[in-house]
Amino acid sequence: MQCNKESRVISEYSGQLRSLLLFGPPGSGKGTLGKFLSSAGNHFHLSSGDIFRGLSPESPAGKLYHLYAGRGLLVPDEVTVEIWRHYVHGLMATNRYFPERQLLLLDGIPRTVCQARLLEAHICVERLIVLEVPKPAILLERLRRRALIEKRHDDMDEGILRARMEVYQQETTPLLSHYPSALISRFDATQTPLEVLRDVLKELCPLLT
């Protein structure tokens, strides 16, 4: 059989992906900020929660996700990074994300020190944006509203919400000390989305433009 020779259409990128990490408890506005920055700045916003929710519920990975997310727990680290890696490769191979000219805005990953270590081979972290909302009551209120709008199962159950907040405190906040403090920028995320965006742009404009 003769094959058509036009085979160099798949982009390959072997370097580390320039990344900006979005940190914050559930409901702090990581997704909203990620969407603003990606659409206005032509960066690539990638949410690990969105990747997981897009998995077919019948697939082995999808079943595993539902098992953990349904209890407000994190999916095990190695599987998480493996799924993420395949997904990112797919984005590059299909010309949806261009690492040579786009920053990767990572929302929700890494969430543990182990994930951060596993990702080190693939990404170069240029900055961390930490969205701070010190009062759990504000977060719970936002998540209840999101549950109605987006019909997310894990936002509808108060017990699951509280478990996710606890996991953020116990497993994700210690991860911040894994990075040099000079890379960390903290923002008051109790403000409106536009006010948060304004503060982020004021501080990080040189990196984002």
Positions that interact with ligand ADP (CB under 6 A): 26, 48-49, 52, 68-69, 72-75, 80, 108-109, 111, 115, 154, 164
What are 34-40's contacts with CB under 8 Å, separation 24+? 34/105, 34/107, 36/193, 36/197, 37/105, 37/197, 37/200, 37/208, 38/105
Contact 19, 125 (CB under 8 A): yes
| Residue with the CB atom nearest ligand ADP in the bound state | 49
Q: Is the peptide bond preceding residue 99 cis, with omega within 30 degrees of 0?
A: no
- Cβ closer to ligand ADP: 26 or 99? 26
The CA distance from 31 to 36, in Å, is 9
Instruction: Give min distance, CB of 26 to ligand ADP, in A.
Output: 3
Instruction: Give min distance, CB of 128 to ligand ADP, in A.
Output: 14
- Cβ closer to ligand ADP: 83 or 197? 83
Beta bridge partners of 47: 107
Q: What is the DSSP letter of 119?
A: H
Instruction: Give min distance, CB of 103 to ligand ADP, in A.
Output: 19
- Cβ closer to ligand ADP: 65 or 97? 65
- Cβ closer to ligand ADP: 49 or 62? 49
The CA distance from 81 to 196, in Å, is 29
Instruction: Give min distance, CB of 61 to ligand ADP, in A.
Output: 11
- Cβ closer to ligand ADP: 11 or 136? 136
Instruction: Give min distance, CB of 65 to ligand ADP, in A.
Output: 6
- Cβ closer to ligand ADP: 40 or 67? 67
Instruction: Give min distance, CB of 113 to ligand ADP, in A.
Output: 12
Amino acid identity of residue 47, one-letter, is: S
Q: Can you tell me which residue has the tokens 């433009």?
A: 209
User: CB-based burial of residue 57 (10 Å sphere; 0-12 exposed, 13-18 middle, 19+ buried)?
Assistant: exposed
